[in-house]
Amino acid sequence: MNGPSTILLIDDDLEATEMIRHLLARAGFRGALRTVHGPAAALRFMFEAIETAAIPQLILVDLTLPEMHGLDLVREIRRLLRGERAFIAVVTSSDHGEDIDGAFSVGADAYIEKYPLVDELIQLRDIMVGGVRPVRPVRLLRRNPSLASAKIGKFDEAESTGGR
């Protein structure tokens, strides 16, 4: 198994969603990636997913979203899930202690600094493949090693010059 079969990415920044999609693929995630760009769309997606029993196994949530803070969205998603299993990771550029603590207090399983390195995503995938929710929240913070490897090699040299 190569991680979750369905991934939901909630982020209003189109460049960030492309970068994260690229990084997930490089880290070996092979699941279907669904992207929504705001809290209302995320909640609609989750209502439908719950109704059809197609709940994403991994939900990635940005903290700074329009209309609703990411922590409020995580809390609402956990409420909607009513105990159903889903691994929720906050993915953000914030490394403030109150955001980190807040994420775990509302039900996030992981807190990942943007932009995650491939090794960090592999670590996350390996935790998920184990099939157990971690006893302790997973923190993948690096405090700026070369600004996430110079924004992941300028997005891996514009996806190997396809984006010249």
Contact 150, 139 (CB under 8 A): no
At residue 76, φ and ψ (nearest 5 deg) are: -65, -40
Q: pLDDT digit string (tens) for 56-100?
A: 989 999 999 988 999 999 999 999 998 888 889 999 888 788 988
Give the pLDDT confidence score for residue 154 in this predicted structure: 46
> Which bin fits 146, alpha (ψ -120 to 50), beta or left (φ > 0)?
left
Q: What is the pLDDT of residue 133?
A: 52
Angle at 13 between CA 8 and CA 17, to 5 degrees: 45
When the pLDDT of each residue in the chain is averaged and rounded to a whole number, the result is: 79
Dihedral sign (CA 146, 148, 154, 156): positive
Q: pLDDT grade, residue 47 (50/70/90)?
A: very high
User: Which pLDDT value is given to residue 146?
Assistant: 43
With pLDDT > 70 as the criterion, what percentage of the chain qualifies? Answer: 76
Task: Say if residue 23's pLDDT is above 90.
Answer: no
pLDDT score for 109: 86
Give dist(CA 97, CA 52) in Å, integer.
37
Separation CA 17–CA 65 (nearest Å) = 13
pTM of the predicted structure, to 2 decimals: 0.79
Q: Quick one: pLDDT at residue 1?
A: 43
The residue ranking higher by pLDDT, 30 or 37, is 37
User: Which domains are seen in the chain, by residue range?
Assistant: 6-161 (3.40.50.2300)
Q: Give the 3-state secondary structure of residue 127.
A: helix
Region 144-160 average pLDDT: 45
Residues 6+ apart with CB under 8 A from 8: 34, 35, 36, 42, 45, 46, 49, 56, 58, 59, 60
Of 128 and 105, more confident: 105
Please determine, for residue 143, whether its predicted confidence score (pLDDT) is greater than 80: no
